[in-house]
Amino acid sequence: MKLIYRIMLSLAAALIPITALWATLFYYAMVGEINDETDDSLDDYATLIIQRCREGRPLPSLNSGSNNSYTIEPATAAEIAAYDGDQYCDRAVYIPEKGETEPARVLTRIFQNNDGRYLKLCVAMPTFEREDLMETVLIWTISLFGLLLLVVVAISILVVRRSLRPLYALLEWLDGYNPGMGVVVVPNDTSITEFRRLNDAAQRAVTRSEELLDRQTQFIGNASHELQTPLAVISNRIEYLMDHTSPSEEQMVELVKIQDTLRHNIRLNRTLLTLTRIESGNIAESSDIDITELVAEIVESLDEVYETRNISCHVEMGPHLCIYMNDAMARMLVTNLIKNAFVYTPQGGNIHITVSSDELCVSNDGDEALDGERIFDRFYTHTSRQSAVGLGLAIVRSICSYYGFEAKYSFEESMHIFTVRFNR
């Protein structure tokens, strides 16, 4: 979820209880104010009736058109004893003119007339329907909340987007950054202190990363280059011993084993040099390479090499797939993918190679899935394999990263599937 949407949801969640509290307080404040005004009117009306009653003047008409009503009756001894001042309450009162009951505010007061008798006066004044008021307050509260939320969200989005522009610029820069492209300047055109510190930290991290990568590349390149001469000397001396001396059969067997190990180290050294050239961008000129023809050529040669293992290799060729890249890199990419399938396919297993208009897919028989996140790492080892994968798939990933291709692994129907999508 984007940060701005999370902020909006948090803001809406905070506004809901605040608005509900405001609506509740507003409702009770309104009811209290209405009751206060009504009580003042009831007090004036009761005072008028009592005054006329004591003066012997005619009392107000019960049906004056105002819907106000009153009753005067003798107070009982219990009511007089329990009386402790004016009492206000809300109850339904029957209105003769309307022939129905309506909510009213009622004042009850006990007083003495000129004869000293205690009378109970009940004065009623029609008031509001509480349910209607609550419904109105609820409707307007929801409307206010919706309008307030829309305004706050709109303003917040504008403010947050404007404030987060430096962060978006940094994220866009990070998406386009690739290690090995050299130390580049992180965009830092902002006056916000926190973002300036973040950009400075990113700049320092990028600088350190480039320096470490450069040192690593130089070390691997230098070490591999320095190893070439002694490895070649050792190889020549072994060949000399085998050709110009008379070793015993046992000695010859050991010399052959040493020579095989040495050849493996020489290939490993050349592979490290290749990786160094790829990571440093030191690749010769590119040209249009027909991947379809290259696949057919490599499959034919590897079929001969692994003929004794009885591996069935089925190739499906679509339209010719031509990619603009370095010839040596293209050959290395295709060779490593197909050779990996031949090496790790069990005796008598199957390999399927498919070439489409924009994709090369190589699949081979397998027992269990490998780690898709680490399969392209250098010298990746899985429990189902007796030895490490080596550098072949690492070279595949490095070449794909350099040219912007997509390399991925999956395991379906007991088949290891390696796919390279050529984004042209």
Query: pLDDT tens digits for 35-70?
Result: 888 888 888 888 888 888 888 788 877 655 456 788
Average pLDDT over residues 271-295: 75
DSSP 168-217: HHHHHHHHH--TTS---PPP-----HHHHHHHHHHHHHHHHHHHHHHHHH
Backbone angles phi, psi at 379, to 5 degrees: 55, 35
Tell me the pLDDT of the chain averaged across its residues.
Answer: 80
Q: What is the predicted pLDDT for the residue at 418?
A: 93
Fold that domain 3-150 belongs to in CATH: Beta-Lactamase (3.30.450)
Q: In what order do the strands lie in the sheet with 87-95?
A: 69-74, 118-126, 100-112, 87-95
Domain ranges of the chain: 3-150, 193-280, 287-421
Instruction: Kindly tell me if the per-residue pLDDT of 384 is higher than 60.
Output: no
CATH number of 193-280: 1.20.58
Q: What is the predicted pLDDT for the residue at 327?
A: 83
- pTM of this prediction exceeds 0.85: no
Which amino acid belongs to residue 340?
N
Q: What is the predicted pLDDT for the residue at 65?
A: 45
Question: Which pLDDT tens digit goes with each residue over 290-349?
Answer: 999 999 988 988 888 888 888 899 999 887 888 888 888 888 889 889 988 998 888 889
Instruction: Kindly tell me if the per-residue pLDDT of 11 is higher than 90.
Output: no
CATH number of 287-421: 3.30.565.10
DSSP β-bridge partners for residue 412: 415
